Amino acid sequence: MLVHVLALLPLRSEGAAGPAGPAGGARREAVGDEEVSDEEVRDEEVSEIRRPDDSDLVADVGRDRRVRSVALIGAQAIDANELLAGLAHHPPSGIFFKDFARYDPIVLEVDRRRIRSFCRERGYLDAQVTKVEVVEESDDEVAIRFFLSEGPATILERIDLVGRPGINATEGLAAMTTSTSTSAVVASALERAAIELHRPLIYAGYVDLREQVRAHYVAQGFAHVTVDGEVLVDRQSHTAVAKLVLDPGPRVRFGTVTVEGLSQIPESAVLNRVFWQPGDGFDPERLLRTRRALYASGLVESVRFEWSKVGRPEVIDVVIHVAEPTPNELRLGGGVGIEPVHYELRARASYARKRFIDPLTTLFVDARPAWALFRNGEYAGFNVQASTSLERQDLWIPRLKGTGTIAYRQIRYEGYSTLGPSAGVGINRTFFDDRLRIDLKGALEVSAISADFDVRAARSLGVSPALPVFMLEGTLAFEGRDDPIEPRRGFFLSSSVEFGAATEGEKARYVLLTPDMRAYLPVGERVVLAARAKFGVRLLATGAVPVTRRYFGGGAEEQRGFAPRRLSPGIWHDADGRVVSQSDAETGIPNLVFVPLGGEASIATNLEARLNVLRIFQQWLAAVAFIDGGDTTLTFADLDVSRLHWAAGGGLRYHTPVGPIRVDLGFRLNRMTPLPDPNPAWALHISLGEAF
């Protein structure tokens, strides 16, 4: 085994380990200025690379050998794994197919510079790679060891926010803020930036701090604000002071709006979704809401805002650049479902035709077939859900959306099947900057239901052989969250009222009221506390509410100690379809089947803490702890909030651009008996999106 020791010398004397600056030791340090490409180093620095005069080392040039292992010796505060992963000579990666770096003695010098730059950007300005060992483990493999001397960390002692020359650093800045001191602006920015006082100076955090200060003034209407800065480093005391220089420019107002990029969509469809008027003060939140509204309409596929910055005008004329989507869109997907009573192999195909009848109308076709296999062997076959709908934007007035849908479904549940068509129409509109939403819809649902148990018992429970139901539903929702997909702060309120009439069986008439309340509170930058309370009750009913319209508890969005629909009143029947009383079922009669039939009252409460743990591929991996309570009962009189079913558990979230991928495991804490559904005492949920 041959070991090459490269005595790597500094490429450029930059004072990282050299003498201090002028008297007092203070000097300006451009932290993080050593980010260079391989090409830059090859072009500018190769002549300064020094090696031992070793014929074996000279022979290394041009030989093709892979890097079997890489180690960083001496790293204490620095994350060695993160550092090594960014080197050209990185450790092997991959599970089934390994990715090996190729050994190059010239690029090895680039990696030395990268290590030093990595340490400097994290506050270790005196860090040096003192030695590199290259160990020949075979004719075509080498192992590399970098020896690092971190040195002491440079501590950020103070942050000063001052105005550019000509701006009063106290009175002028205070007049532009909501506080009497610029220190409040810095303190607010520090809460959001990845940097802390009296901690090592992190260059990325310093850049983030500048951006947070800039965002503070942009939010107050200073669209042309600039925030420059420098870091003063005392190399003797290993301390630093960050100086931010503010030039706010004038307070800006919106001017005219023009739209570019349209060919078929009318310009009014874009202008109807602009959340400002000429003369309004500049507000980036209005730009964000406009972008969200345009994307939500489905009329455009990209949105970009542009205005002139030349001369820093007080009135900005905004140009909205949009791109129209392609007229045809096809999506295909699939998945599997594993639930306590059955398995499903699922497929999905959806097609959208934009500008179907006119530029503002879209045709949607959706099909979701699934092959279902029940664990007890009682059923194996297809479940099918299919629908066709038309959606019209700006139906009669701006931002009023109308929909019309026809659908068919054939679904096998535990103990019964339902199949039949449905048709519905609806309208919805938002108000008050898209905060308030009103939905109105009507539908006719025809469900032919076949039960595996006694027909008379089925009818008494609202499970009729044929069950046409006419429904009218209204929903009022207020959106007070900062982000509807991954909220960190704010609240959400909604309430729906459904009036229904069954035309056969007992010809039931009913009203269902379902309010839902959610709240979110950040604790620091990584923790969010979330709470929810949801309630459902039948009002003004005659006869039983049809089984297709009842409340069912349990599942990934409600009480996570139960599988979907399993927290529900129901019946037990034997293999011959005879209904068995609950008291008899509790005696342990074998081969009984539990059939959840839903209830007319329901409550669900959820409390969880969400913690962002670490980033993987630039996205957060989060851990969650939760406690859920809930119950579903036949009538409101049966609902007892002092005897809810409780479950606790935890989960993981991996945040993606389309929402978090979620895995939750819930364990039931109480009421294992009496029924419903005494087993199992836990449930695993895998889904997309937060629980609430």
- The predicted-structure confidence for 167-218, as pLDDT tens digits, reads as follows 544 444 444 443 335 577 777 787 777 788 899 999 888 998 999 889 989 9
Q: What is the DSSP string of 359-403?
A: TTEEEEEEEEEEEEEETTSS-EEEEEEEEEEEEESSSSSTT-EEE
List the one residue out of 470, 463, 549 whose CA is nearest residue 506: 463
- The predicted-structure confidence for 451-483, as pLDDT tens digits, reads as follows 777 766 666 565 665 567 899 999 999 999 998
- For tokens 């898209």, name the residue: 434
Which pLDDT does position 679 carry in this prediction? 62
Q: What is the DSSP letter of 204?
A: H
Nearest 5°: phi and psi at 218?
A: -60, -40
| pLDDT above 70: percentage of residues in the chain | 84
Which pLDDT does position 172 carry in this prediction? 41
CB neighbours of 418 closer than 8 A, spacing ≥ 6?
Answer: 409, 410, 411, 447, 448, 449, 548
Which pLDDT does position 659 carry in this prediction? 87
CA distance 664 to 129: 45
Residue 664 corresponds to which amino acid? D
* pLDDT tops 90 at residue 38: no
| Least confident stretch, 1-5, 140-144, 394-398, 665-669 | 1-5
| For range 566-570, the mean pLDDT | 88
Run of H or E including 41: helix 38-45
Residue 617 corresponds to which amino acid? F
Whether 665 and 649 have beta carbons less than 8 Å apart is answered as yes
Which pLDDT does position 16 carry in this prediction? 35
Q: Which residue has the higher pLDDT, 98 or 62?
A: 98
Which pLDDT does position 414 carry in this prediction? 81
Which pLDDT does position 64 carry in this prediction? 83
CB neighbours of 489 closer than 8 A, spacing ≥ 6?
Answer: 481, 482, 520, 521, 522, 528
* pLDDT tops 90 at residue 146: yes
CA distance 401 to 403: 7
| Least confident stretch, 198-202, 388-392, 531-535, 614-618 | 614-618
> Can you list the domains of the chain with their CATH numbers?
3-149 (3.10.20.310), 155-247 (3.10.20.310), 253-323 (3.10.20.310), 413-688 (2.40.160.50)
For residue 164, what pLDDT band results from cuts at 50, 70 and 90? low
> Dihedral through CA 632, CA 633, CA 636, CA 640, nearest 10?
-80
For residue 495, what pLDDT band results from cuts at 50, 70 and 90? very high
For residue 508, what pLDDT band results from cuts at 50, 70 and 90? confident
> Strand locations in 435-545, DSSP E?
436-451, 466-481, 490-502, 509-523, 527-542
- For tokens 């979701």, name the residue: 368
Residue 305 tokens read as 């805002």
| For range 516-541, the mean pLDDT | 94
* pLDDT tops 50 at residue 582: yes
For residue 409, what pLDDT band results from cuts at 50, 70 and 90? very high
Residues linked to residue 54 through DSSP beta bridges, in sequence order: none
Average per-residue pLDDT for the chain = 84
CA distance 518 to 530: 7
CB neighbours of 503 closer than 8 A, spacing ≥ 6?
Answer: 468, 469, 470
Which pLDDT does position 308 carry in this prediction? 94
- The predicted-structure confidence for 299-342, as pLDDT tens digits, reads as follows 999 999 999 999 999 999 999 999 999 999 999 999 888 877 78
Highest average pLDDT, of 85-89, 390-394, 641-645, comes from 390-394
- The predicted-structure confidence for 414-438, as pLDDT tens digits, reads as follows 878 889 999 999 999 999 989 999 9
Exposure class string for 4-14: b at 16+ Cβ within 10 A, else e: bebebeebeee
* pLDDT tops 70 at residue 45: no
For residue 575, what pLDDT band results from cuts at 50, 70 and 90? confident
| For range 50-62, the mean pLDDT | 45
Q: Which residue has the higher pLDDT, 189 or 559?
A: 559
CA distance 182 to 169: 8
CB neighbours of 593 closer than 8 A, spacing ≥ 6?
Answer: 376, 378, 414, 415, 452, 572, 573, 574
CA distance 203 to 506: 72
Which pLDDT does position 458 carry in this prediction? 61
Residues linked to residue 469 through DSSP beta bridges, in sequence order: 445, 502
| For range 540-546, the mean pLDDT | 79
* Angle at CA of residue 640, ends 637 and 644, nearest 5°: 140
CB neighbours of 305 closer than 8 A, spacing ≥ 6?
Answer: 287, 291, 318, 319, 320, 321
List the one residue out of 299, 298, 317, 315 whose CA is nearest residue 307: 317
Which pLDDT does position 547 carry in this prediction? 84
Whether 402 and 374 have beta carbons less than 8 Å apart is answered as no
| For range 29-41, the mean pLDDT | 39
Residue 100 tokens read as 């090996």
How many Cβ atoms are within 10 Å of 377's Cβ, its own excluded? 7
* pLDDT tops 60 at residue 514: yes
| pLDDT above 90: percentage of residues in the chain | 59
* pLDDT tops 80 at residue 408: yes
CB neighbours of 637 closer than 8 A, spacing ≥ 6?
Answer: none
| For range 516-544, the mean pLDDT | 92
Query: Is cis: bond before 515, omega within 30 of 0?
Result: no
3-state helix, strand, coil in the chain (%, to 5): 15, 45, 40
